[in-house]
C-alpha cells in the first residue's frame, strides 16, 4: 500500500514540477525494504523520534509529496526530515520555506515536533545547517552547546533536541558500501543509489574533509626522510646535497601535519558521525593508520640540527595506539564476519601493514631490539596474507580495481620499508634485507613499465599517499647502494630519487591547481553519505 502511494506521489510530483525528484522520496520508498537487520535495532524510539524509519515511511507516503515537489526548491529539506536517519530538525525548518500546503504534508506524520507549524521563517542559513545535523556529533547538540557558550542564542526550541537521534550507533555493514559505491577508491556513487545529503549544495567544509588528506602528510614527510638520506648516505655523498633541504621539508611536514590533524580533530569533535562512516568504509579505514605513520616518518626524518637522538619513550608513545588499532583491524580480518579479508582486501590495506615496518625501522634505529622485532613479525605475517590475497584477485573481492590505478603503487611500500627495517634490526643489509629489497624493486618496475595505463583517473587527495612508496623505494635503494656500492646501484638510487621528487612536484602542482583554480580539491564526500537502505528500483 505504501508502495503504491509512493508511486503515485512520485508520478504526481514528477508531473508537478520540473525539478528533480528530491532524494527524500527515493529514500522513502527504500524504507519499505528492510534489508539489513543489523542496522536498525528497533530502538525504543518514541513517536517524536526520527530514528525510526518505519514511522517515516508511513508518513512520507502521504500524497503531500506534490508539495514536496513544489518545494523542491528547498531541496532535500524533505529528505532530511523524513530520512530514517533521523535528520530531525530539518522538519521544523522546511515547513516555513515551503510555499503552501505544508499542512498536508505533515498530517499523518507522527509529529516529531509541534514546532513545525509554528515556525516563523527561519533563515535559510539555519535551514542548511540543520540538514547536516545527523552527521554532527550528538546530532548537533554539541555544536549548539558550543555556540550557546559563545553567547549566540539559538532560536530553535528544545524539542528539536529530543527528537535528535544519532544515526545508527550500530555498525554500518560493509556490504552497504560495496553496493552503493564503485571505483578503485570506492568514491563514486552508483547510478542506482542515492545519498542522504543534498547533492547539489556544497557541504560544510569539515564534512568534505576526508581522512585521506593525511596522504599529503605522508607524501611530504617521506620526502623529508629521503632528502635526509640523500645527504647522509655514503653512496650519495658524491652529490653533495645539503641538509638544508631536509630541514625545510621537515618543517613543512610539521606544519602540514599540525594543520591536517587539527582540522581532522575538529571534524571528529563536530562531525563524529561522518568520522564513524569513514571508519566503516572499507578503503578509508586504512587511512586511519596514516597519522601514526606520518609521525613515525617525522621522527625518522628529524634533521640532525634539531635533534640527534630521540627519547625511547617516544617510540612507545607512538606505537601503543598503533598496536591497539591493528589489534582491532587484523582481528576483524581474521575473526570478523562481514569484514573478513577475502571480502574487503584492497591495495589500500597495505597502509595497515606498512606501519608495522616503519615502526620497526624507527625502533631499530633508536637502538631498541625486541619491540622492533615484535612489529616486524606481526607485519611480516600479515603482509604475507595480504600479498597472497591481493595477488589471487579472488572473484569474491569486489574492491580491486579492474584497471591500473595509482593505488597499486602501495604494493611497493611494504617490502621496501621491510628491507630497511630488517637491515636496522640485523645491523647490516644482509640477505633478508636484500631479498625483500629485490621484491620491492621488481614490483616497482612492473608498475613503472605500465605507466601508460595510469591515465584517466580523477585526481584525489589520496594520490599523495601513493607517492610515499616511490620515496621508500628510493631510500631503500640508497641503503642498498651503501652496502653494495657500484656505479649501477648509485645510478639506480639517484634515478629513483629523481622520479620520486618529480612525482611529488607534479602532484603539488596538480593540488594547487585543484585548490585555487578549479576549486574542487574537496568535493562533496559522497562516500560517507550513502544511505543505509538500498533504494527500491523505480520505474523511471
Partner 1 sequence: MAAVVTSHAELQLVVDTPAVDSGGVAVDRIQCSSCLISTILTKLHAGYFRVSLSLGGQALLWKTLRGPTDDTHTLRQTLHLFHPTAFTVLWCFSFFALVLLSVLYLLRCLLHFKMVKEEFFHHVGVNYLFAPSISWLLLLQSAPFFTPENHYSYVVLWWVFSVLPIVVLDVKIYGQWFTKGKKFLSAVANPTSQLSVIGNLVGAQAAANMGWKESAIGFFSLGMVHYLVLFVTLYQRLSGTDRLPSMLRPVFFLFFAAPSMASLAWQSIAGSFDTTSKLLFFLSLFLFMSLVCRPTLFKRSMRRFSVAWWAYSFPLSMLALASMEYAEEVKGDIPHLIMLLLLAFSVLVSICLVVFTLLNSKIQLLSVCFDPISSFVSRAKCFTAHQNEQPSQTV
Residue with cell string 599529503: 216
Instruction: Please tell me the number of Cα atoms within 13 Å of 353 on its side-chain side.
Output: 28
Among 396, 428, 452, 539, binds partner 1 (CB under 8 A): 396
**DSSP string over 64-79:** THHHHHHGGGGTTHHH
**Of 227 and 315, which has the nearer Cβ to partner 1?**
315
428, three cell numbers: 647490516
- With contacts defined by CB under 8 A, name the span among 96-104, 216-224, 368-376, 491-499 that binds partner 1: 368-376
- Under the binding rule (CB under 8 A), the answer on residue 327 touching partner 1 is yes
The angle, 0 to 180 degrees and rounded to 10, between the axes of the packed helices 89-97 and 124-131 is 150
Report in angstroms how near the CB of residue 330 gets to partner 1 at its nearest.
7
| Residues 268, 275 contacting (CB under 8 angstroms) | yes
- Under the binding rule (CB under 8 A), the answer on residue 333 touching partner 1 is yes
| Residues 244, 230 contacting (CB under 8 angstroms) | no
Among 374, 454, 457, 459, binds partner 1 (CB under 8 A): 374
| CA angle in degrees (0–180, nearest 5) for 288-294-296 | 115
Among 78, 167, 225, 380, binds partner 1 (CB under 8 A): 380
Among 49, 137, 223, 389, binds partner 1 (CB under 8 A): 389
- Under the binding rule (CB under 8 A), the answer on residue 313 touching partner 1 is no
- Under the binding rule (CB under 8 A), the answer on residue 312 touching partner 1 is no
> Distance (Å, rounded) from C-alpha 314 to C-alpha 122?
51
Among 203, 288, 322, 376, binds partner 1 (CB under 8 A): 376
**Of 396 and 452, which has the nearer Cβ to partner 1?**
396
Among 123, 426, 446, 485, binds partner 1 (CB under 8 A): 426
- Under the binding rule (CB under 8 A), the answer on residue 335 touching partner 1 is yes
**Of 33 and 388, which has the nearer Cβ to partner 1?**
388
- With contacts defined by CB under 8 A, name the span among 40-48, 63-71, 136-144, 338-346 that binds partner 1: 338-346
- Under the binding rule (CB under 8 A), the answer on residue 146 touching partner 1 is no
Site for partner 1 in 189-248 (CB under 8 A): none
Residue ranges with strand state E in 121-246: 181-182, 188-189
- Under the binding rule (CB under 8 A), the answer on residue 331 touching partner 1 is yes
- With contacts defined by CB under 8 A, name the span among 36-44, 143-151, 311-319, 381-389 that binds partner 1: 381-389
Which among 403, 410, 496, 498 is positioned nearest to 455, based on CA atoms?
403
CA distances from 300 to 225, 365, 385 (A): 7, 8, 27
| Residues 412, 470 contacting (CB under 8 angstroms) | yes
**Of 308 and 391, which has the nearer Cβ to partner 1?**
391
**Of 380 and 447, which has the nearer Cβ to partner 1?**
380
Nearby residues of 501 by Cβ (< 8 Å), 6 or more positions away: 223, 226
Among 56, 132, 227, 330, binds partner 1 (CB under 8 A): 330
In degrees rounded to 5, what are phi and psi of residue 455? -130, 160
Among 258, 259, 334, 506, binds partner 1 (CB under 8 A): 334
| Residues 40, 168 contacting (CB under 8 angstroms) | yes
Among 197, 206, 368, 425, binds partner 1 (CB under 8 A): 425
- Under the binding rule (CB under 8 A), the answer on residue 320 touching partner 1 is no
| CA angle in degrees (0–180, nearest 5) for 416-421-424 | 130
**Of 414 and 474, which has the nearer Cβ to partner 1?**
414
Residue ranges with strand state E in 423-469: none
> Distance (Å, rounded) from C-alpha 429 to C-alpha 475?
13
448, three cell numbers: 613503472
- Under the binding rule (CB under 8 A), the answer on residue 411 touching partner 1 is no
Among 3, 342, 446, 486, binds partner 1 (CB under 8 A): 342
> Distance (Å, rounded) from C-alpha 443 to C-alpha 113?
60
Among 4, 370, 402, 431, binds partner 1 (CB under 8 A): 370
Residues facing residue 188 across a β-bridge: 182
Residue ranges binding partner 1 (CB under 8 A)? 327, 330-331, 333-335, 340-342, 345, 369-370, 373-374, 376-378, 380-382, 384-385, 388-389, 394, 396, 425-426
Amino acid at each position: 500500500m505504501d508502495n503504491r502511494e509512493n508511486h503515485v506521489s512520485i508520478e504526481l510530483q514528477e508531473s508537478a514540477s520540473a525539478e528533480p525528484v528530491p532524494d527524500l522520496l527515493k529514500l522513502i520508498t527504500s524504507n519499505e525494504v528492510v534489508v539489513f537487520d543489523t542496522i536498525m535495532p528497533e530502538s525504543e524510539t518514541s513517536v517524536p523520534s526520527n530514528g525510526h524509519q518505519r514511522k517515516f515511511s508511513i508518513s512520507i507516503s502521504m500524497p503531500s509529496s506534490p508539495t514536496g515537489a513544489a518545494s523542491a526548491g528547498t531541496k532535500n529539506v524533505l529528505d532530511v526530515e523524513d530520512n530514517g536517519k533521523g535528520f530531525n530538525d530539518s522538519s521544523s525548518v522546511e515547513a516555513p520555506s515551503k510555499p503552501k500546503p505544508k499542512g498536508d504534508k505533515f498530517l499523518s506524520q507522527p509529529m516529531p515536533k509541534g514546532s513545525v507549524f509554528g515556525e516563523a521563517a527561519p533563515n535559510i542559513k539555519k535551514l542548511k545547517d540543520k540538514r547536516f545535523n545527523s552527521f554532527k556529533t550528538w546530532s548537533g547538540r554539541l555544536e549548539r552547546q558550543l555556540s550557546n557558550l559563545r553567547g549566540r542564542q539559538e532560536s530553535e526550541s528544545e524539542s528539536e533536541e529530543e527528537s535528535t537521534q544519532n544515526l545508527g550507533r550500530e555498525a554500518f555493514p560493509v556490504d552497504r558500501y560495496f553496493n552503493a559505491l564503485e571505483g578503485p577508491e570506492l568514491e563514486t556513487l552508483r547510478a542506482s543509489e542515492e545519498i542522504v545529503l543534498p547533492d547539489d549544495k556544497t557541504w560544510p567544509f569539515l564534512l568534505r574533509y576526508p581522512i585521506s588528506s593525511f596522504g599529503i602528510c605522508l607524501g611530504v614527510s617521506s620526502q623529508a626522510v629521503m632528502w635526509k638520506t640523500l645527504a647522509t648516505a655514503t653512496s650519495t655523498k658524491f652529490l653533495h646535497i645539503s641538509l638544508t633541504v631536509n630541514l625545510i621539508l621537515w618543517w613543512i611536514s610539521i606544519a602540514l601535519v599540525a594543520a591536517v590533524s587539527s582540522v581532522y580533530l575538529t571534524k571528529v569533535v563536530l562531525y563524529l558521525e561522518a568520522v564513524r562512516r569513514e571508519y566503516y568504509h572499507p578503503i578509508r579505514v586504512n587511512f586511519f593508520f596514516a597519522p601514526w605513520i606520518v609521525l613515525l616518518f617525522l621522527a625518522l626524518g628529524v634533521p640532525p640540527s634539531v635533534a640527534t637522538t630521540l627519547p625511547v619513550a617516544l617510540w612507545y608513545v607512538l606505537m601503543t595506539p598503533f598496536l591497539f588499532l591493528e589489534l582491532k583491524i587484523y582481528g576483524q580480518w581474521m575473526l570478523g564476519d562481514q569484514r573478513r579479508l577475502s571480502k574487503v582486501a584492497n591495495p589500500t590495506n597495505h597502509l595497515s601493514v606498512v606501519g608495522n615496518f616503519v615502526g620497526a625501522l624507527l625502533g631499530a634505529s633508536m637502538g631498541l631490539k625486541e619491540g622492533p622485532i615484535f612489529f616486524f613479525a606481526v607485519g611480516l605475517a600479515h603482509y604475507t596474507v595480504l600479498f597472497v590475497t591481493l595477488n589471487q584477485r579472488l572473484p569474491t573481492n569486489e574492491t580491486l580495481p579492474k584497471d591500473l590505478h595509482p593505488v597499486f603503487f602501495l604494493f611497493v611500500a611494504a617490502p621496501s620499508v621491510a628491507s630497511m627495517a630488517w637491515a636496522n634490526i640485523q645491523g647490516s643489509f644482509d640477505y633478508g634485507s636484500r631479498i625483500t629489497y629485490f621484491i620491492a624493486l621488481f614490483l616497482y618496475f612492473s608498475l613503472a613499465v605500465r605507466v601508460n595505463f595510469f591515465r584517466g583517473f580523477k585526481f584525489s587527495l589520496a594520490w599523495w599517499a601513493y607517492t610515499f612508496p616511490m620515496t621508500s623505494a628510493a631510500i631503500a635503494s640508497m641503503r642498498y647502494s651503501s652496502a653494495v656500492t657500484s656505479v649501477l646501484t648509485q645510478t639506480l638510487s639517484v634515478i629513483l630519487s629523481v622520479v620520486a621528487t618529480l612525482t611529488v612536484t607534479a602532484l603539488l602542482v596538480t593540488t594547487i591547481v585543484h585548490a585555487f583554480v578549479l576549486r574542487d580539491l574537496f568535493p562533496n564526500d559522497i562516500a560517507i553519505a550513502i544511505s543505509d537502505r538500498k533504494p527500491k528500483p523505480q520505474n523511471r
